[in-house]
Structure 1
Amino acid sequence: MESIFVSAATADDDAIPLIPVTRDALPDLLARNPERWRNWVEQSDFKAESGSLLHVPADDGRTAAVLLGHEPERSHWMLAQALKRLWPGLYRLESAGIKADVLITLLVGWGLAGYRFERYRKAEKPLPRLVWPEGVDRARVEALVAAHRLARDLINTPPADMMPVHLALAARELAEEFGAGLRVISDDEALEEGFPCIHTVGAASAFSPRVIELTWGRPDMPHVVLVGKGVCFDSGGLNLKPGNSMRLMKKDMGGAAIVLGLARAIMALGLPVRITALVGAVENAVGSRSFRPGDVLKARNGKTIEIDNTDAEGRLVLADLLVRAGECHPDLVIDFATLTGAARVAVGTEIAAFFSDDEVLAADLQAPAGYWDDPVWRLPLHEPYRHLLDSRVADLVNSSSGGYAGAITAALFLKEFAPEGVPWLHFDVMAWNTRARPGRPKGGEAMGLRAVLGLLEARHGQGSSGPA
């Protein structure tokens, strides 16, 4: 954060102006500046089109200003786009005329664009830095950027360094930073008795499973329970994945990473809610203790599950956690998981698919998702497909063998364990950028985090992160 934002009080006067300009406003801008600006713009054929950028030279050969072409209705990532094309140095945004709610999205975009995963390889050159504009809540921007940084770092870390024990350590560091409560269950007997599905999924790994429970907030506040799938690596188990399908499975704990990032943002902003973050951290490995197709498991609530496919392990982890969520007497339950390829087929890799049994909750998510350009799309909890989960030997199977509606049947499976009568959001996300875009580098991504944070702020206070 310190490398890309500089306090106005400590910045020198040599900061280069960044001047947003639209196609229509360009003539007026040029009329107010030296004639050499007009000559340079004409020579460079700069039209102030969206995403365009032009360095305007000064008399001494340095940069007098940088013009940023943009369209006001599509300006989310204007600064993010600029950051990757600017030379290292100090810049100052000419923010006159930019609304405060737009400005905060621009600054978050700059912060997200400055993310680099440097644990194993350092960057070759420093990033440009931005003088903090007056009148903008810096703590809010930094909370959002830090939340994404945490989630991205966790997802990007190779599996050997991000096993259940490491994920639990990350949660402990987070709890210590914000004075949150933390309980980590790692004892084999305790897991087998209290979280039998999680215990079974992780039994074959040399890294024992963990159930992580982070708590924060006053008991009289609305209680939001966040649930995250933390499969630190997914081989597929005995239904072994092909090599190409296994290559990115370090991201299979993306749901847990998003939950921890979201919890971080909530605590940093001091939202008037009480949160419980539940993470089931396991490795779905292959070994003599692997669970098998045809096995029958008993979940935390006593329901029996016939295993159709050991590669449908994430929903087993979430089943135990959702039962535990209901025991916390929540007002709202939200889970995140990299759950099905079917969701990716339905909405692609850049939209967070979600399900909900609450019409108002689903509708309320749309405004903050649009405000933050954090796209989400609702898929149906189509109850007639529940028959696809019927078993002849147990209460239900963990995966439909039909091959159709995989994201829907996975959500219907989870609904069997979600607390009744409690509003529920289930996110089935990629948690990975397959291509680099402004503010969204290739690699781990906290999909849905900004949208959900905006939803919570609009419902419970501090609604400046999005329209109420």
Structure 2
Amino acid sequence: MNVQIVLVGSLSEIPKSYRNENIFLFGKTLFVHKENEAYLYLGTKKDRITREDIRYLGGHTRRQINKWNVEEVNMDFQSLLKLAKEMNEKEVVTCFLEGWYLAGYNFNKYKQKNVNKQMSQLKMKGESYDTCNDMAIIRSRAINTARDFCNEPANKLTPEIYVKRLKEMFEDTKVEVEIIDINGLEDAGFHAVHVVGKGSSRSPYVAILRLNNGAGDPIALVGKGVTFDSGGTNVKTGRDIGEMKMDMGGAAAVTGAIQLLSDLDYKGNLLAVIPLVVNVAGEEAYLPSDVITYRNGLTVEVGNTDAEGRLILADAILYSTAAKAKYIIDIATLTGSIGHALGLKKAGIFCDDEDRLWELKEIGARSGDYVWPMPLVEDYQSLLKSDTADLNNMSASIYGGAITAAMFLKNFVSDDCRWIHIDMANTVRPWKEECYYTAGASGFGVRLLAELVQCERISDVN
């Protein structure tokens, strides 16, 4: 069976017997099958159509098509182009196709009956959209890379397996991969990674990715890679800590972003620092009251071993500074507090230049990875006071946990370096399984990081 996609712009486009004002509502669908022809009508009524709306339509269309045995789908983008007047033709088509491809994702490699439904062939009327199709495939593939990493069970994605997969991924690319194992961590300045990871039989690692494809100092991406987090000695007591296999969502986002930028032949220098640990309470596990000394001399008392993410991120930030990064973006599934503040749809974004926060919010909206500006409150630095060391990794207050975590990290960022911090703990899974979001991980952060890097590069050139 072949299906023609019709984006509803007027009642005249619908057969008389099916005409109903509700079909105009955005996302509403009507499937009509008559003789040897089938039509899928999609409602598009909305005050303003955004890029994410178009991705939504692409994914929503794919989901509807999957309900039937469809061999071929015919799509005419002209009506969609009329609706999205603020965007150019290539943007519109690429966004639709991105949603289409992402909606086809599933993670069922460990199921005995691994049945993947054959994808319907999408044919596009009018001009050749090969470049748009290629771009959509590149973008969706990078997002699906992050999804794959997050969805892997803890025993199938240890730090050692993670670094092996990185080597395989980037073997024939411009990305150079350096791996630091447990024997070299302290010499390389990753003291906290060594301390946090030593409680597990799964040894800690740090992956350093470099894409040297231009002039100037590198932009650094830092991703938290806790492949499983039991909370350590301060063991988690939640109902389902199986979700903690996704505590490396930041690392996955950085990995996907580097893949995307490499595939796009990004012209610039990139440095990615990915600390990888398993945080469990083994016989050599670190303990509350332990003190960690960092490469810059700062000392930190461990107030809570379940606040391990900020400890290893601090190592990676310091390494990035030593590598002369002028701009550092870190991303992490860092605090439950960010979800309490923002819900499940938008990650929190912090910046050392508060005036840029609303610009960053717009970049997030454009990418499809939504963020909301969060403050860096200097007065909260006092909540990180320790009687034993320079800092405590745990706030003295139960309130504002996402902000105090960001303030902790700020202590490790040099004054001459620009810095953005993204707390994505609430968005590592989709807030709702709809349109192009399927079961499992969301792939959040891949597009956001790539957009931030590209925007920063443009501003430097100009």
Length-normalised TM-score, structure 1: 0.88
Runs of 5+ consecutive residues of structure 2 not aligned to the other structure: 82-87
**Match of 2:94?**
104
| 1:308 paired to 2:308 | no
Partner SS state of residue 224, structure 2 = strand
Give me the whole-angstrom Cα distance separating, in 2, the residues matched to 1:374 and 1:26: 34
Do 2:219 and 2:453's aligned partners in 1 also have CA atoms closer than 8 Å? no
Give me the whole-angstrom Cα distance separating, in 1, the residues matched to 2:115 and 2:430: 20
Do 1:105 and 1:372's aligned partners in 2 also have CA atoms closer than 8 Å? no
Equivalent of 1:90 in 56, 72, 91: 72
Equivalent of 1:53 in 8, 20, 29: 29
Give me the whole-angstrom Cα distance separating, in 1, the residues matched to 2:8 and 2:72: 20
Q: What does 1:288-303 correspond to in 2, within 5 Å?
A: 288-303=283-298
Do 1:352 and 1:448's aligned partners in 2 also have CA atoms closer than 8 Å? no
Superposition deviation, residue 438 in structure 1:
1.2
Do 2:24 and 2:43's aligned partners in 1 also have CA atoms closer than 8 Å? yes
**Match of 2:440?**
443
Partner SS state of residue 215, structure 1 = strand
**Match of 2:173?**
178
Give me the whole-angstrom Cα distance separating, in 1, the residues matched to 2:224 and 2:199: 18
**Match of 2:411?**
416
Give me the whole-angstrom Cα distance separating, in 2, the residues matched to 1:252 and 1:190: 21
Do 1:353 and 1:378's aligned partners in 2 also have CA atoms closer than 8 Å? yes
Amino acid in the other structure paired with 2:338:
A
**Match of 1:433?**
430
Superposition deviation, residue 79 in structure 1:
1.7
Partner SS state of residue 330, structure 1 = coil
Do 2:8 and 2:23's aligned partners in 1 also have CA atoms closer than 8 Å? no
| 1:116 paired to 2:135 | no
> Measured at CA, do residues 132 and 297 of structure 1 come closer, stay the same or move farther in structure 2, by a change above 3 Å?
farther
CA-to-aligned-CA distance 1:261-312 (integer Å, 9 cap, x gap): 1111111111222111110000001111011111111123221100100000
Equivalent of 1:26 in 8, 11, 14: 11
Superposition deviation, residue 221 in structure 1:
4.5
Amino acid in the other structure paired with 1:26:
L
> Measured at CA, do residues 222 and 266 of structure 1 come closer, stay the same or move farther in structure 2, by a change above 3 Å?
farther
Give me the whole-angstrom Cα distance separating, in 2, the residues matched to 1:229 and 1:364: 24
Give me the whole-angstrom Cα distance separating, in 1, the residues matched to 2:92 and 2:343: 27
Give me the whole-angstrom Cα distance separating, in 2, the residues matched to 1:211 and 1:386: 28
Length-normalised TM-score, structure 2: 0.89
Superposition deviation, residue 132 in structure 1:
5.2
Give me the whole-angstrom Cα distance separating, in 1, the residues matched to 2:73 and 2:216: 42
Further displaced range: 365-374 or 292-301: 365-374
Give me the whole-angstrom Cα distance separating, in 1, the residues matched to 2:119 and 2:286: 48
| 1:69 paired to 2:61 | no
Give me the whole-angstrom Cα distance separating, in 2, the residues matched to 1:137 and 1:124: 25
Do 1:54 and 1:67's aligned partners in 2 also have CA atoms closer than 8 Å? yes
Amino acid in the other structure paired with 1:415:
K
Give me the whole-angstrom Cα distance separating, in 2, the residues matched to 1:144 and 1:348: 26
CA-to-aligned-CA distance 1:3-62 (integer Å, 9 cap, x gap): xxxxxxxxxxx853212113xx232x24xxxxxx323x24x88623211222232333x4
Superposition deviation, residue 222 in structure 1:
5.6
Do 2:294 and 2:315's aligned partners in 1 also have CA atoms closer than 8 Å? yes
Report how many residues are paired: 437
**Match of 2:345?**
350
> Measured at CA, do residues 239 and 355 of structure 1 come closer, stay the same or move farther in structure 2, by a change above 3 Å?
same
Superposition deviation, residue 142 in structure 1:
1.4
| 1:38 paired to 2:38 | no
Partner SS state of residue 291, structure 1 = coil
Q: What does 1:107-256 correspond to in 2, within 5 Å?
A: 107-121=97-111, 122-123=114-115, 125-131=117-123, 134-135=128-129, 136-191=131-186, 194-221=189-216, 223-244=218-239, 246-256=241-251
Do 1:308 and 1:401's aligned partners in 2 also have CA atoms closer than 8 Å? no
Amino acid in the other structure paired with 1:70:
T
> Measured at CA, do residues 342 and 83 of structure 1 come closer, stay the same or move farther in structure 2, by a change above 3 Å?
same
Amino acid in the other structure paired with 2:16:
R
CA-to-aligned-CA distance 1:319-358 (integer Å, 9 cap, x gap): 1000001011113111110000111111112211111102
Partner SS state of residue 271, structure 1 = coil
**Match of 2:84?**
none
Give me the whole-angstrom Cα distance separating, in 2, the residues matched to 1:189 and 1:112: 39
**Match of 1:455?**
452
CA-to-aligned-CA distance 1:166-216 (integer Å, 9 cap, x gap): 111221122214231111000425446621100000001111000100101
Superposition deviation, residue 140 in structure 1:
1.9
Superposition deviation, residue 247 in structure 1:
2.4
Amino acid in the other structure paired with 1:55:
F
CA-to-aligned-CA distance 1:70-104 (integer Å, 9 cap, x gap): 13534330121121121232212110141422222
**Match of 1:81?**
60
Amino acid in the other structure paired with 1:69:
G
Amino acid in the other structure paired with 1:105:
C
Partner SS state of residue 255, structure 2 = helix
Further displaced range: 450-459 or 146-155: 450-459
Do 1:342 and 1:406's aligned partners in 2 also have CA atoms closer than 8 Å? yes
> Measured at CA, do residues 216 and 262 of structure 1 come closer, stay the same or move farther in structure 2, by a change above 3 Å?
same
**Match of 1:338?**
333
| 1:272 paired to 2:267 | yes
